[in-house]
Amino acid sequence: MADGRNSTTVEEFILLGLTSQKNIQIVLFPVFLSLYIVSLTGNIIIIILSRISSQLHTPMYFFLSNLSFLDIWYTSSIVPNMLINFLSVRRNISFNGCVTQMFIHLSLGGTECYLLLSMAYDRYVAICSPLHYTTIMHPILCIKMATGSWAGGIINSVVHTVLALQLPFCGPNVINHFFCEIPSVLELACVDTSLNKTVIFFFAMLVVMGPFFLILITYGYIISSILKISTSVGRRKAFSTCASHIIVVSLFYGAIIFMYMRPGSTHVEGQDKMATLFYSVITPMLNPLIYTLRNKDVMGAFVDIRRKTFVSEK
């Protein structure tokens, strides 16, 4: 085992990326550029609509605009560097750049877990206590829940990043990934990383599985309340208010649980990259599409703004 104190400190890392085949990289560049543009456009539209449309000034869309803002930075912390590397011969990233990327990714990933829980609670109150909805989900509570979500994600990231910075990195410096994800970075440390891996597992249970189980419990109550509705039309309407959130939760948690909650012996490099790609790049792109296409309020707000814009230009 190398001694970090007597070894050369790594000043940069080399990212292997999704593939080493140049012809495939050339094909992937326009694909991911398109995905990135769609993701940015969709999430920016959600934020703008939530701000300027009075019919979207509700707790649900307050949390959704937070999620869209998060997704913009989530993809922006990864995709631009990935696009550059598709066209570069040498895919290097500085040590500080790698740490920053890791910190942002961990912060936003943890925040999204808590935001999805906040959105589940909002749907629970709307369906299980509709008469008290405006009283319970008042703006101050929504701000506290959103602030708590961001604080929880940042605390999670600070812990992992600080522990990672205590490790000596003396070579090799090749990361078998398309960005600085913490498990891949820890593999390059010159000392035993059992403590870091234990902390990762503990926080995965706290930040990932904790909110996930609470979401499942919340939807247990929601489904129970929906089944008590006497008419099929009422049940369908109640379920439709949760459908978009259920899809987003399933996509995000399905990939992230597959990535972080499997035994170490079952990890396969290609599968890990695909799972990470899905929850950190694909899901943020799908979120605005899911909420827009399946939500009449968002579509209605978009149509109203387009109509007003058209009338004002005449």
Q: How confident is the model at residue 231 (pLDDT cuts 50, 70, 90)?
A: confident
For the beta carbon of residue 199, count every other beta carbon within 10 angstroms: 15
| Sequence spans of domains, the chain | 11-313
pLDDT in tens, 235-284: 888 888 888 888 889 888 887 777 666 555 455 556 678 878 888 888 88
pLDDT digits over 27-67, tens only? 989 999 998 998 899 899 889 888 888 778 889 889 999 99
Q: Which of 41-45, 182-186, 216-220 has the highest mean pLDDT?
A: 216-220
Q: What is the pTM of this model?
A: 0.87
Mean pLDDT of 113-133: 93
Q: Quick one: pLDDT at residue 296? A: 67
Q: What is the mean pLDDT of residues 179-202?
A: 89
**In the structure, what pLDDT confidence band is assigned to residue 222 with cuts at 50, 70 and 90?**
very high
| Residues 188 and 175 sit within 8 Å (Cβ to Cβ) | yes
Cα–Cα distance between 69 and 103 in angstroms, integer?
17
Lowest mean pLDDT among 6-15, 19-28, 88-97, 160-169: 6-15
Helices marked H in 180-231: 182-186, 194-203, 210-227
> If you average pLDDT over every residue of the chain, what do you get?
85
Residue 56 is predicted with a pLDDT of 80
73 exposed, middle or buried (CB, 10 Å; 0-12, 13-18, 19+)?
middle
Q: How many residues does the chain have?
A: 314
| Confidence label for 24 from pLDDT (cuts 50, 70 and 90) | confident
Beta strands in 34-103 (DSSP E): 92-94
CATH 1.20.1070.10 assigned to 11-313: yes
Is it the case that residue 313 has pLDDT exceeding 70? no
Check residue 2 and give its pLDDT: 41
pLDDT of residue 88: 82
Give the DSSP letter string of 130-187.
GGGHHHHS-HHHHHHHHHHHHHHHHHHHHHHHHHHHTS---S--EESSSS--HHHHHT
Report d(CA 98, CA 169) in Å as an integer: 12
Which residues are 94's β-sheet partners? Answer: 12
Mean pLDDT within 207-217: 93
